[in-house]
Amino acid sequence: MIALGSDHAGFPLKEEIKNHLQQKGIEYKDYGCYSIESVDYPDIAETVALAVVQGQCDKGILVCGTGIGVSIAANKVPGIRAALCGDVFSAKASVEHNDANILTMGQRVTGPGLAIEIVDAWLAAAFLGDRHKRRVDKITALDRKYGRCLSEEKIDGQ
């Protein structure tokens, strides 16, 4: 199952992606937003990221105006490897080499036709493992190292 989310700026493209997934028979859960009314993208990104890391969904797709904000926000959740992709090659490589579990895109920079091609390439790609696994394991180690550090500082600081 795919976790979908967007802010108001990404809402129209998210709806295009949702329709495409429906037509292909791919299950998804829409975590909002549900209109062009203003919302804060970090809230949506966190909700989608948690759905992925907690195993409620296998992967996630996030859309905002540029794709940058949701990418930054989602990557703050340990275990998330969100990749901002504006082309098919990067989408495929983000999974094959980096085991990306969230795809992010920008409504204002990626047209719907290309976005659908990116989604299809990203969903069809598989992690290659091998030498790439060693590198992804190092990313996971950074999550553990700094995620734990930040959590302890917050607890001690309050």
Looking at residue 148, what is its pLDDT? 57
Cis peptide before 33 (omega within 30 of 0): yes
Q: Do residues 68 and 83 touch, judged by C-beta distance below 8 A?
A: no
pLDDT at 131 over 70: yes
Q: Which residues are 60's β-sheet partners?
A: 3, 102
Backbone φ, ψ for residue 61 (5° rounding): -130, 125
Q: Do residues 2 and 57 touch, judged by C-beta distance below 8 A?
A: yes
77, containing H or E segment: none
Using alpha carbons, list the distances in angstroms from residue 134 to 67, 125, 157.
Answer: 27, 19, 34
Mean pLDDT over 39-68 rounds to 97
Confidence of residue 144 (pLDDT cuts 50, 70, 90): confident
pLDDT at 152 over 80: no
Mean pLDDT over 100-128 rounds to 97
Looking at residue 103, what is its pLDDT? 98
Overall pTM surpassing 0.85 (yes/no): yes
Question: Tokens 């948690």 correspond to what residue?
Answer: 50
So which residues are the catalytic ones?
Answer: 64, 97
In this predicted model, what pLDDT tens digit does every residue of 10-31 receive, in sequence order? Answer: 999 999 999 999 999 999 999 9
